[in-house]
Structure 1
Amino acid sequence: MSKRRLDILTTGGTIASKARGGMLSGEELIADLENIFPDVEIGIKDICRVGSSQITTHILWEIRTSVQESFYMGADGVVITHGTDTLEETAYFLDLMSNSKVSKSAEAEEDVSAFGQSIPIASTMHEVDAKIHFGPTVITGAMRGFDDIGYDGMANLIDSCRVALEPKSAAYGVLAVMNNKVHLAREVTKIHSWMLDAFDSPATGPIGYVGPQGVDFLVNPPPRTFCEYTALVPPVDLIKTGIAFDERMVRMLVEGQSRGIVVESMGYGHLPQRMVEALKDAIKSNVPVVVTTRCLYGGAPAPGTLIDAGFISTDLNGQKARIKLMLALSVTNDPSEIARLFAVRP
């Protein structure tokens, strides 16, 4: 019987960090895994070694391409190690792209420089012209560095490998595994800046746990609908509102050629009137506006609809709404069509 194959893609982050010296390579990071999983062939790919606050659209696309390549080459599961600051955004981006087509192109990758970001618009797998479905895909990290007392990285990595080697994990989409808990990419968020138990899914809670007996899923897989996104389109901007906010920031973003604006409203979609008027003007300037809430629970009214003011409503948090809008702009700039994309999960 042939061994199962598990690919581990590393990007840096606290899980690979030491107090002194550079970040660990993938080989250094997973040194003990082969003893823990003797019946599994483990492959390693170092994508980058950065703190996750330095992740760019280019790196996001490279992670996605690498996951596609792993499954195209026969991997049974993939684990991505990542810094925790933006782990949820990468997880959600990958989830949205987990049933996408590899473009057949003469150019392996075209980088268009815009606003300090590179925009990859085609996969490096230029020989392939087909959809590649992600198998079990897990992203994980650590809250303590490799040489800190109580390093949690190896435990999270082992748990993630167990989830990625569980075939039924694929039906849930991309999963985040931290501190024995399994979270949907759409729901997970970082809720504490330094505690070990830093991640939660406020709307749903974790969908499973990794324990001594293996992986235990608590709920059935949710319905999932996909769109064929082709790029991450920047700049899309995120504004958090507060008392006495006015129109200045919105007008500055429109004048600065923002392609879309995500607004974290107060409460249940409430915004200062001067800001509302500026956002309406943004829509007239062909800049789509997505409204969510700064609250941890609830979203904005009627998620996935185009409300009377012309704003697109969502129950995603601000940072994930921004990722989805960046992808949506690769296929349409029509607010009603963007609202349709926001109406479906993931």
Structure 2
Amino acid sequence: MPSAPQTSQPSLQVISLGGTIAMTLPSGGAGGVAPRLTAADLVGAVPGLDDGVCLEAQDFRHIPGAWLDIDDIAALAELLNKQAASGTDGIVITQGTDTLEETAYLLDLLYEGAAPVVVTGAMRNPSMAGADGPANLLAAVRTAAAPQARGLGVLVVFSDEIHAARHVQKVHSTSTSAFASPGAGPIGHVVEGRPRFHFSLPRRPAVPLPFTRPAAVEVIETTLGSSGTLLHCAEQHLDGLVIAAFGAGHVPASWTERLEELAARIPVVLTSRTGAGSVLTATYTFTGSETYLLERGLINAGTLHPRKARLLLLAHLRTGADRNTLKAAFESQS
């Protein structure tokens, strides 16, 4: 009797950047935790992680999440593009949670492949009771191996929830359920070890790599009674600016003259500081309203969070994009 045909196992990469998931106490147990575990250590610590898949572990960085920078993530995106082109079936990235929402979104902007990329980490380091890293890593591997995840871009898997990089935010400093997608919700859940997807988001064309020029972009947030002093430093030091405005896109009247001057010189993007909901386009007309500011050259970021608007603007500026390209990029994201 002929044997049943053999099916090949999905080939997955697990890439470590460091972070809490890889942090342990020094030998002797005295002092605080720091990144010490390798990608191979993380993979080896989860029973059954390689069931049904072929895993390869790789260390890319070995640092806290707060140390990562734009060039680290651009270099990682180039690696992911090469691996996807070479035929890998999925990629899992482990890193620190401080910057996880931002690295996931920047990777989503730069990643060209169809193979799933899943970012995860931990809120409790391996020396703590109830460490969540192993469960998050297992859920991330299962998601990256799922055919349904193909073509969805970069995902974040945390506490058995699957989030789109476009919407995910870190919403708590210590909880193991620290990640959420305000205004959208998770796009799926991992149930009994199997990812179940509820909906998906359309992919946008990737921002081309490599970056060809330096650029500086910062976020300035409106606050009650703020004089806007930081705006006076922007033109000398920045190539672009994101305003995290009140409500649906409003700023103090005292800010408006300076913002109009800046928008004539550098791209200035209007976002909401609320963390969910959209900047409006034509509801309010008072001085400093969304209508007033958009008429004076600010770029509407729609529903995009200020931190992610900064990354979208920065990525395009570093490719040398012109103003029309920038406006189109924000229209497509929002």
Same fold per superposition (TM over 0.5) = yes
Q: What is the CA–CA distance in structure 1 between the aligned matches of 2:124 and 2:85, rounded to whole Å?
A: 33
Residue 291 in structure 1 maps to residue 270 in structure 2: yes
Question: Which has the larger displacement, 206-215 or 191-200?
Answer: 206-215
Q: How does 1:80-229 map to 2 (within 5 A)?
A: 80-99=93-112, 133-212=113-192, 214-219=194-199, 221-229=200-208
The equivalent residue for 1:241 is: 222
Residue 328 in structure 1 maps to residue 307 in structure 2: no
Is contact 2:106-2:311 (8 Å) kept?
yes
Q: What is the SS of the residue equivalent to 1:177?
A: strand
Is contact 2:161-2:190 (8 Å) kept?
yes
- How far off is 1:331 after superposition? 4.3
Q: What is the CA–CA distance in structure 2 between the aligned matches of 1:36 and 1:255, rounded to whole Å?
A: 51
The equivalent residue for 1:70 is: 83
- How far off is 1:187 after superposition? 0.3
TM-score calculated relative to the size of structure 2:
0.87
- How far off is 1:30 after superposition? 1.0
Q: What is the CA–CA distance in structure 2 between the aligned matches of 1:188 and 1:251, rounded to whole Å?
A: 32
Is contact 1:233-1:326 (8 Å) kept?
no
* Residues 302-332 of structure 1: per-residue CA shift (max 9 Å, x gap): 49x9921211111211111110001121345
Q: What is the CA–CA distance in structure 1 between the aligned matches of 2:138 and 2:61, rounded to whole Å?
A: 21
Is contact 1:224-1:345 (8 Å) kept?
no
Q: What is the CA–CA distance in structure 1 between the aligned matches of 2:275 and 2:9, rounded to whole Å?
A: 43
Q: What is the SS of the residue equivalent to 1:239?
A: strand
Is contact 2:114-2:151 (8 Å) kept?
no
Question: Which has the larger displacement, 271-280 or 333-342?
Answer: 333-342
Q: What is the CA–CA distance in structure 1 between the aligned matches of 2:321 and 2:224, rounded to whole Å?
A: 31
- How far off is 1:72 after superposition? 2.5
Question: Which has the larger displacement, 154-163 or 89-98?
Answer: 89-98
Q: What is the CA–CA distance in structure 1 between the aligned matches of 2:206 and 2:92, rounded to whole Å?
A: 24
Q: What is the CA–CA distance in structure 2 between the aligned matches of 1:174 and 1:203, rounded to whole Å?
A: 19
What amino acid sits opposite 1:223 in the alignment?
A: P
Residue 54 in structure 1 maps to residue 87 in structure 2: no
Q: What is the SS of the residue equivalent to 2:294?
A: coil
Aligned residues: 309
The equivalent residue for 1:254 is: 235
What amino acid sits opposite 1:218 in the alignment?
A: H
Question: Which has the larger displacement, 69-78 or 143-152?
Answer: 69-78
- How far off is 1:166 after superposition? 0.4
Q: What is the CA–CA distance in structure 1 between the aligned matches of 2:18 and 2:228, rounded to whole Å?
A: 39
Q: What is the SS of the residue equivalent to 2:219?
A: strand
Q: What is the SS of the residue equivalent to 2:73?
A: helix
Is contact 1:247-1:277 (8 Å) kept?
no
What amino acid sits opposite 1:278 in the alignment?
A: R
Q: What is the CA–CA distance in structure 1 between the aligned matches of 2:64 and 2:215, rounded to whole Å?
A: 21
* Residues 238-288 of structure 1: per-residue CA shift (max 9 Å, x gap): 1111012224201112122x010011001111101222211211122x211
- How far off is 1:39 after superposition? 3.2
The equivalent residue for 1:308 is: 295
* Residues 158-213 of structure 1: per-residue CA shift (max 9 Å, x gap): 00000000022023221000000000000000000111111100011001000115
Q: What is the SS of the residue equivalent to 2:92?
A: strand
Is contact 1:223-1:345 (8 Å) kept?
no
Unpaired runs of 5+ residues, structure 2, are 1-5, 28-34, 283-290
- How far off is 1:40 after superposition? 1.8
Given the alignment, which residue of 15, 31, 41 partners 2:21? 15
The equivalent residue for 1:268 is: 248
Is contact 1:136-1:164 (8 Å) kept?
yes
Q: What is the CA–CA distance in structure 1 between the aligned matches of 2:72 and 2:204, rounded to whole Å?
A: 25
Is contact 2:136-2:160 (8 Å) kept?
yes
- How far off is 1:34 after superposition? 7.0
Unpaired runs of 5+ residues, structure 1, are 100-132
Is contact 1:34-1:42 (8 Å) kept?
no
The equivalent residue for 1:3 is: 9
Q: What is the CA–CA distance in structure 2 between the aligned matches of 1:64 and 1:159, rounded to whole Å?
A: 22
Q: What is the CA–CA distance in structure 1 between the aligned matches of 2:332 and 2:90, rounded to whole Å?
A: 26
What amino acid sits opposite 1:179 in the alignment?
A: S
- How far off is 1:337 after superposition? 3.0
- How far off is 1:233 after superposition? 4.3
Q: Which runs of 4+ in 1 moved over 6 A?
A: none
Given the alignment, which residue of 262, 286, 293 partners 1:282? 262
Identity, % of aligned positions: 32
Q: What is the CA–CA distance in structure 1 between the aligned matches of 2:13 and 2:281, rounded to whole Å?
A: 40
Q: What is the CA–CA distance in structure 2 between the aligned matches of 1:36 and 1:229, rounded to whole Å?
A: 34
RMSD (Å), alpha carbons:
2.1
